[in-house]
Structure 1
Amino acid sequence: MSPPAGDGRPDWEEGAPERLYVVTAGRDRPSRRVPLDLVTLVVSQGVPEPGMNPEHLAILRMCAGPLSIAEISAYLSLPCSTVTVLVADLVDGGHVEVRAPVSATARPDVTLLEAVMDGLARI
């Protein structure tokens, strides 16, 4: 950590281990087992509450539409492991919903697609 800035606060370096420790309250994994990986999609389910830390607020604001853990990590310039802890906190508080991405092996219902195509052809 760098010496305190003129206003008495520490001058945090981006990605400094001390900052990451503070952001996650010293945790290196979520408090509860939430299945999260780099491609897990995160969507806000509520509004920020007073007293939330800045990183939680940023995640809530940026996830109005689905974003992956990897994207959130890039936007916040934080390691994915840190973002995973933060997102798990928000899941625990009911502030975000997480979804697994659609599997590449998942196949659409062919009957439904044919019905849609037939309906469009009649228009």
Structure 2
Amino acid sequence: MSADESFVRPFVLTGGRTQPRHDGLRIETQLHATPQALSAPLRFESRRIVELCQAPQSLADLSAALRAPLAVVRILVDDLVTEGHLLIDEPLTDVSPALMRRIRDRVRAL
């Protein structure tokens, strides 16, 4: 089998969709699988995402592990979140740009 024969077009993986249903998944978004996700009837990339997310993974990490474009992984992850198989790990606090600048300035002062 040549490399061309094993290539799957991204639109096949996403059912032809080019955008996730919900916005807000950033490349650093941390995701983890729900306990029942491994027993769900998932196929191919969706199954692999759930397996990888037994420990928290970022969207970027998943894209690299699957060797798939980030846009495709974002759509697959969005579907898994919508179906209740993945949970988004929310950061404890949002760090404002002003706070980041103050931290940077204080570190530089050391």
Question: TM-score w.r.t. structure 1 length?
Answer: 0.66
Unaligned runs of 5+ in 2: 100-110
The C-alpha deviation readout for 1:26-62, integer Å capped at 9, x for no partner, is 011112x142010000100022422x22000000001
Q: Which has the higher helix share?
A: 2
Q: Does structure 2 conserve the Cα–Cα contact (< 8 Å) formed by 1:69 and 1:83? A: yes
Deviates more, 1:80-89 or 1:93-102: 93-102
Residues 1:36 and 1:99: Cα distance change in structure 2 (over 3 Å): same
User: Which protein has the larger Cα radius of gyration, Structure 1 or Structure 2?
Assistant: 1
CA distance, structure 2, for counterparts of residue 104 and residue 94 of structure 1: 24
1:6-37: CA deviation from partner (whole Å, max 9, x where unpaired): xxxx9232xxxx52110000011112x14201
> Aligned residue for 2:40?
49
Query: Match of 2:27?
Result: 38
Which structure carries more relative contact order (alpha carbon 8 Å, separation 6+)? 2
Give the TM-score taking structure 2 as reference length: 0.73
Alignment of structure 1 residues 8-47 onto 2, 5 Å: 11-13=5-7, 19-31=9-21, 33-45=22-34, 46=36, 47=38
Gap regions ≥5 residues in structure 1: 108-123
